[in-house]
Structure 1
Amino acid sequence: MLSALIWIPLLGALLVGFGREPLIPARARLIALLTTGGTFVWTIVLGSQFDVGQAGMQFSEHLTWIEPLGLTYDLGMDGLSLPLVALNGLLTTIAIASGTPSVSRPRLYYILLLLLNASVTAAFLAQNLLLFFLFYEVELIPLYLLIGIWGGANRGYAATKFLIYTAISGILILAAFLGSTLLTGASSFGYEPLLTQALPLGQQFLLLGALLIGFGIKIPLVPFHTWLPDAHVEASTPISVLLAGVLLKLGTYGLLRFGLGLFPEAWAVLAPWLASWAALSVLYGAFMAIAQTDMKKMVAYSSIGHMGYVLLAAAAATPLSLLAAVCQMVSHGLIAAMLFLLVGVVYQKTGTRDLKVLQGLLNPERGLPLIGSLMILGVMASSGLPGMVGFVSEFLVFRGSFPIFPTQTLLSMVGTGLTAVYFLLLVNRVFFGRLSEPVQDLPPVYWSDRAPAMVLGALVLLLGLQPNWLVHYSETTMASLLPARLAIAPTAVVAQPMPKAEIME
Structure 2
Amino acid sequence: MLSVLIIIPILGAALVGFFPGKITDEKLRKITLAIALSLIAWTVEIAIKFNLNNPGLQFQEHFTWIPQLGLTYNLGIDGLSLPLLALNSLLTFIVVYGYGNNVDRPRLYYSLILLVNAGIAGAFLSANLLLFVLFYELELIPIYLLIAIWGSKKRGYAATKFLIYTAVSGILILAGFLGITWLSNSPSFDYDLISTQGLSLKTQLILLTILLVGFGIKIPLVPLHTWLPDAYVESSPPVTILLGGILAKLGTYGLLRFGLGLFPETWQIVAPGIAIVGTFSVLYGALAAIAQQDIKRMVAYSSIGHMGYIVVAAAANTPLSLVGAISQMVAHGLILAILFHLVGVVESKVGTRELSVLNGLMSPVRGLPFTSALLIMGGMASAGIPGMVGFAAEFLVFQGSFSVFPIPTLLCIIASGLTAVYFVILLNRTCFGKLDNDTAYYPKVIWSERTPALVLAVVIFFLGIQPTWLVRWSEATSNFLVTNSSIEIQKSNIEIQNSKLKSQNLASLINTTEIQNSKLKSQNLASLINTTEIQNSKLKSQNLASLINTTEIQNSKLKSQNLASLINTTEIQNSKLKSQNLASLINTAEIQNSKLKSQKSKFS
TM-score, length basis structure 2: 0.80
Alignment length (residue pairs): 490
Distance 2:491 2:241 in 1: 39
**AA partner of residue 191 (structure 1):** Y
Aligned match of 2:489:
486
State how 1:71-470 maps to structure 2 within 5 Å: 71-195=71-195, 197-436=197-436, 439-470=439-470
> 3-state DSSP class of the match of 1:63?
strand
Aligned-residue offset at 1:31? 1.2
Distance 2:406 2:132 in 1: 35
Report if aligned partners of 2:327, 2:393 keep a CA contact under 8 Å in 1. Answer: yes
Distance 2:347 2:392 in 1: 31
Aligned match of 1:67:
67
> 3-state DSSP class of the match of 1:363?
coil
Cα offsets for 1:337-370 (capped at 9, x unmatched): 0000000000000000000000000001110001
> 3-state DSSP class of the match of 1:484?
helix
Report if aligned partners of 1:158, 1:234 keep a CA contact under 8 Å in 2. Answer: yes
**What 5-or-longer segments of structure 1 have no aligned partner?**
491-505
Aligned-residue offset at 1:486? 2.7
2:19 matches 1:19: yes
> 3-state DSSP class of the match of 2:488?
coil
> 3-state DSSP class of the match of 2:104?
coil
Higher RCO structure, 1 or 2 (CA under 8 Å, sep 6+): 1
Cα offsets for 1:346-404 (capped at 9, x unmatched): 00000000000000000011100011100111000000011100000000000000000
Report if aligned partners of 1:269, 1:489 keep a CA contact under 8 Å in 2. Answer: no
> 3-state DSSP class of the match of 1:485?
helix
Aligned-residue offset at 1:438? 6.4
Aligned-residue offset at 1:264? 1.3
**AA partner of residue 221 (structure 1):** L
Distance 1:422 1:40 in 2: 34
Report if aligned partners of 2:237, 2:341 keep a CA contact under 8 Å in 1. Answer: yes
Report if aligned partners of 2:61, 2:73 keep a CA contact under 8 Å in 1. Answer: yes
Deviates more, 1:197-206 or 1:5-14: 197-206
Aligned-residue offset at 1:36? 1.4
Aligned-residue offset at 1:102? 1.8
Aligned-residue offset at 1:156? 0.1
Cα offsets for 1:163-221 (capped at 9, x unmatched): 00001101110110000001100011010011474422111110010011100000000
Report if aligned partners of 1:195, 1:261 keep a CA contact under 8 Å in 2. Answer: no
Report if aligned partners of 1:463, 1:469 keep a CA contact under 8 Å in 2. Answer: yes
Aligned match of 2:29:
29
For the structure 1 residues 413 and 67, does the alpha-carbon distance in structure 2 shift closer, same or farther, using more than 3 Å as the test? same
Distance 2:437 2:257 in 1: 52
Aligned-residue offset at 1:100? 4.0
Aligned-residue offset at 1:266? 1.4
For the structure 1 residues 33 and 195, does the alpha-carbon distance in structure 2 shift closer, same or farther, using more than 3 Å as the test? farther
**What 5-or-longer segments of structure 2 have no aligned partner?**
494-604
TM-score, length basis structure 1: 0.95
Report if aligned partners of 1:350, 1:439 keep a CA contact under 8 Å in 2. Answer: no
**AA partner of residue 178 (structure 1):** L
**AA partner of residue 242 (structure 2):** L
Distance 1:174 1:436 in 2: 56
Report if aligned partners of 1:261, 1:483 keep a CA contact under 8 Å in 2. Answer: no
Q: Which has the higher helix share?
A: 2
Distance 1:302 1:153 in 2: 23
Larger Rg: 2
Distance 1:438 1:298 in 2: 27
Aligned-residue offset at 1:484? 3.3
Distance 1:362 1:444 in 2: 13
Cα offsets for 1:146-173 (capped at 9, x unmatched): 0000000100000000000001101110
Cα offsets for 1:395-453 (capped at 9, x unmatched): 00000000000000001111100000000000000000001356432111111111101
Deviates more, 1:96-105 or 1:365-374: 96-105
Distance 1:467 1:317 in 2: 20
Distance 1:488 1:233 in 2: 48
Aligned match of 2:7:
7
**AA partner of residue 487 (structure 2):** A
For the structure 1 residues 425 and 175, does the alpha-carbon distance in structure 2 shift closer, same or farther, using more than 3 Å as the test? same
> 3-state DSSP class of the match of 1:480?
helix
> 3-state DSSP class of the match of 2:63?
strand
Report if aligned partners of 2:296, 2:343 keep a CA contact under 8 Å in 1. Answer: yes
Cα offsets for 1:102-125 (capped at 9, x unmatched): 211111111100000001000000
Report if aligned partners of 2:196, 2:263 keep a CA contact under 8 Å in 1. Answer: no
Please tell me the root mean square deviation across aligned C-alpha atoms, in Å: 1.3
**AA partner of residue 429 (structure 1):** R
Report if aligned partners of 1:296, 1:340 keep a CA contact under 8 Å in 2. Answer: yes
